[in-house]
Structure 1
């Protein structure tokens, strides 16, 4: 936390970013967020392994990654830090 805001360290650039900027930076390094941002998940039959999607629920967002035939929180695949799963909408994506 910096100034009361959740932040993530980017080792490559040696800077702190907001969680949303961290997610975007990570996705941009892979070609961008595949399916954009929405409250509705993309059509299952069109999704490919490692596609990404920013789900909007409960007034927040969570970066999702399609991994082994289902959507998972990107942090559950990448394991950046346990705190990512407590951030914004991430605790609620499977409610």
Structure 2
């Protein structure tokens, strides 16, 4: 009888150890899942920021291209007017 009681006590101790380990693992899992959810939220926020920045970059590139074309056009018009003025000055001399 004493052996069975000793075995029972040993089994109960092991059971408590396993329950404690399980509780510890459950807590670690809950923490990891919370961290995962937080990181996924951060990832979505960063993806949104990337999309906004890419849109801003595309708009800036388009504006640069438009302004470059306008600059070239204005430089050409300025050159034409300068040449026209020079031509007229030469005609009146």
Question: Bigger radius of gyration, 1 or 2?
Answer: 2
Higher relative strand content: 1
Instruction: Specify if TM > 0.5.
Output: no
Higher relative helix content: 2
Q: Which has the higher contact order (CA 8 A, sep 6+)?
A: 1
Give the TM-score taking structure 1 as reference length. 0.18
